[in-house]
Amino acid sequence: MSMLDVKAIQERSDRHPKPSDIKFQYGTAGFRTLGKTLDSVLFRVGVLAALRSKKLDGKTIGVMVTASHNPEPDNGVKLVDPRGEMLESSWEAHATILANAPDSVAFVAAVDELVQTSKIDLSIPARVVFARDTRPTGPQLIAALKDGLEAIKAEYRDAGITTTPVLHYLVRTINTKGTQDSYGEDTEEGYLTKISDAFKKLLAGKATPPPLLIDCANGVGALMAEKFKAYLGDAFSINLVNADIHTVGALNNSCGADFVKVNQKLPPSITLQPGQRACSLDGDADRLIYYYADEHGQFHMLDGDKITTLVASFIVELVKAAGLDEQIKVGVIQTAYANGSSTKYLSGRLPVKCVPTGVKHLHHAAEQYDVGVYFEANGHGTVTFSPAAQELISSCKSSNLSQSATLTQLKNVIDVINQTVGDALSDAFLVESVLAHKSYSGVEWDSLYCDLPNRLVKVVVSDRNAFVTEDAERRLVSPLGLQAKVDELVRRYEGGRSFVRPSGTEDVVRVYAEAVTRAEADELAFRVAGLVYDEAGGDQSRRPKEFL
């Protein structure tokens, strides 16, 4: 094994001192906090990404600089493994250790320790591709990242300002280039071409859908959506709103997928005509929430659960029509946040599995099926096809015209989807394809099942780690006795369901509740939040009034 250039790393690391008062944590979505505090983290992530690449035989690792739907001053960074997936969880702990080394001497020691314990061969080259979203702190953070990559002499490719799903796509295509698993051309054009071609083929012969209004959250999704316009031509029109990536403070501000989902209302910047449908992306374009106005102009939301239902039902239909339903099993993955009505609707038709929150859990579980459909209620999701299922679909000999047409549709569905990670634009094109095939408007799509009213509340506590869950986050094991109190409350509400879980991205505890009426869902959520607040020793004089 060749040696680490300790001196070079230590010297460069000195230019990126760790703030002494911050403890960083690689959480569900990587490191995420105020952008201006992340300089040392980015430098160290550069070194870590290179080590991960060396560990995996020089495969290309992705680094995405974004804080997604969070406020503009926040920023973050996450690593992407060679197949375009989230960093393997055992390395999350390494990331946290490296980020918290108090100074450059301790950092180099931590790096050395990682090299030894993970048996990393330093003579193997390291390759990294990175990108960032539109946040103002992005350029400085990228500079720190590059410094880390250069310190350890990694080869790197700068993918510029692009969406999280494009970065994931690039990682997968770079690593499969020239192999029989090739996932496409390893460029943004390759991405735009692959997805738009498949979408246009899915729309061929159908009535052209009405133009789609896309709320871009004033983020990087606006750039990509704009680029798609040229590739889609006359086949499909998109109109962009909240596409201002230059005005300071505009990102995710009163717009975007998270705003719509959390507030269950339209962004104030949007007015819908009766019958019109639209969708919102989040700040890095990996979440998608749809909605429409009914004939009275009333707003209705179509969230990740509604997308799951639409997409899964369509794929099941296609697989059946292709005569492959014996060989290809379609499964759905949800989290505790999935609306109870969606779970009920889907469970009657398909295998449904519940896993903890976070894409890595959903994605992994989806890959256990031939076709795995997952969308978190918050709109992050995709569909995965196993290599065997893809092979079967592409090699299946059709016995008649209609079967042949179905097989072609399935192939196009595979190509329109970004299988590496949730991709709001690709997901929107899939949704539009299904709606065109079924001749559904928003109303018909929405009528598959009726959402139970629900409420999400966050409770600020001094230590969220005191809250430990089991059963895919649906039950608390700690603090002791709290779950019994929650159960006791839930029993008093018809159709009631509630759970408490610590956030993986913020220092808060989240409470979710649903019930048959809005008033009851609200009341149940606030009562449970009250239990959590008291349990966590919250200051009674500052106890929110709503926490009944």
Q: Among residues 376 and 423, whose Cβ is nearest to ligand 16G? A: 376
> Where is 161: in which H helix or E strand?
strand 155-161
- Which of Mg ion, ligand 16G, none does residue 503 bind to, with CB < 5 to 8 Å depending on kind? ligand 16G
Which of 59, 132, 201, 510 is in the footprint of ligand 16G by CB under 6 A?
510
Burial tier of 326 (Cβ tally within 10 Å: 0-12, 13-18, 19+) = exposed
- Residues 232-291 interacting with Mg ion (rule: CB under 5 A): 282, 284, 286
The candidate with the shortest Cα–Cα distance to 273, out of 453, 425, 441, 452, is 441
φ/ψ region of 275 (left if φ > 0, alpha if ψ in -120 to 50, else beta) reads: left
Using rule CB under 5 A, residue 523 touches Mg ion? no
**The pairing of beta strand 371-375 with beta strand 330-334:** parallel
Q: How far is the CB of 396 from ligand 16G (least distance, A)?
A: 34
Positions marked catalytic: 68
Residue 232 as a binder of ligand 16G (CB under 6 A): the answer is no
Residue of the chain from 4, 9, 29, 222 that contacts ligand 16G (CB under 6 A): 29
Cβ atoms within 10 Å of 349's Cβ, excluding its own = 13
Is 442 a binding residue for ligand 16G by CB under 6 A? The answer is: no
Tell which one of 380, 455, 464, 474 touches ligand 16G (CB under 6 A).
380
Nearer to ligand 16G, 227 or 464 (CB): 464
Residue 206 is given by DSSP the state S
Eight-state DSSP code of residue 502: E
Q: Residue 352 burial (CB < 10 Å; 0-12/13-18/19+)?
A: buried
Q: Tell me if 427 contacts ligand 16G by CB under 6 A.
A: no
Of ligand 16G, Mg ion, none, which one does residue 282 interact with (CB within 5 to 8 Å by kind)? Mg ion
Residue 282 makes contact with ligand 16G by CB under 6 A:
no
Residue 284's binding partner out of Mg ion, ligand 16G, none, with CB under 5 to 8 Å set by partner kind: Mg ion
The answer to whether 66 and 18 have CB atoms below 8 angstroms apart is no
HSE of 73 in the Cβ direction (CA atoms, 13 Å)?
3
Nearest partner of 532 among 484, 492, 486, judged by Cα? 486
Place of tokens 């300002």: 161
Nearest distance, CB of residue 510 and ligand 16G, angstroms? 5
Question: Does the protein bind ligand 16G through residue 313 (CB under 6 A)?
Answer: no
Interaction of residue 474 with ligand 16G, rule CB under 6 A: no
DSSP reduced 3-state for 328: coil
Using CB under 6 A, which of the segments 54-62, 267-275, 505-513, 534-542 binds ligand 16G? 505-513
Q: Rule CB under 6 A: which residues touch ligand 16G?
A: 28-29, 68, 357-359, 376, 378, 380, 503-506, 510
Q: Rule CB under 5 A: which residues touch Mg ion?
A: 68, 282, 284, 286
